[in-house]
Structure 1
């Protein structure tokens, strides 16, 4: 039976410092901010999907009676997200990271020939940029 799931619509990372995350994701990576709600979360457009950045201290709290019925949630520790680069433009991404003093932890080719680079956000989350062919896209 074929899955009815077509794609990942959103993914979330958890950080303790939303201001640092906003400077990194909006400034260094240049993602388009959709919204920020105080010290609770920041949402960014990321191609056809959305990257959610949450403060776990705030998302663990139960929703107010008059709020949307989204269950409380939260994560602790380092997470991982892989971004697909437009036109597989590693040079532009590496320039952006170098200009902002962001260290590359790894830069390599997978067995299928796809390239990946790995680096960290201010909260220690592992971020990857890869060619779409890594997953046959």
Structure 2
């Protein structure tokens, strides 16, 4: 059996990429209401999301090697659209469907998985696929933050 102190306890952060950080900031901070942690010029904007952090990077900036005095984070990035799924209760899903419709954000799918959990799918301004789903999708309890 694995040592419990060495097990992964959850996802601390996840990243998406968007070239237009102003649009990303307005969408995630304004429409979705996530708390902005920080923004660094046109390189990135970070948001708090429950117990984790959502990182939005400009892919054109993260492929540039950092200057010598900067944190030694390796270059990274991607092209194309990514995906992230936000945890939401059944009541919250109803709220988000209405809020997104009011903001003219198309709901691409709204359905129940074979295990009964509901998901909705939509896109951010950069085309990333976003999902809101009940935690039961992955067998998690609604109140479990991990």
Common fold by TM > 0.5: yes
Q: Does 1:115 align with 2:122?
A: no
Per-residue deviation, residues 81-108 of structure 1 (Å, max 9, x unmatched): 0000156511211121012100000000
Counterpart position of 2:87: 84
The count of aligned residue pairs is: 137
Is it true that 1:32 corresponds to 2:27 in the alignment? Answer: no
- Within the candidate set 63, 66, 69, 1:66 is matched to 69
Q: What is the rounded CA distance, in whole Å, between the counterparts of 2:90 and 2:129 in structure 1?
A: 22
Aligned counterparts of 1:125 and 1:70: Cα–Cα separation in 2: 24
TM-score, scaled to structure 1:
0.96
Question: Tell me, which stretches of 5 or more residues in structure 2 are unaligned?
Answer: 141-146
CA contact (8 A) 1:88 1:131 kept: no
Q: Deviations over 1:54-86 (max 9, x none)?
A: 001100000100001111111110000000015
CA-atom RMSD in angstroms: 1.2
The TM-score with structure 2 as length reference comes to 0.90
Q: Is 1:105 equivalent to 2:112 in the alignment?
A: no
Q: CA deviation at 1:120?
A: 0.3
The Cα shift of 1:47 comes to: 0.4
- Give the unaligned 5+ runs of structure 1: none
Displacement after TM superposition at 1:24 (Å)? 0.5
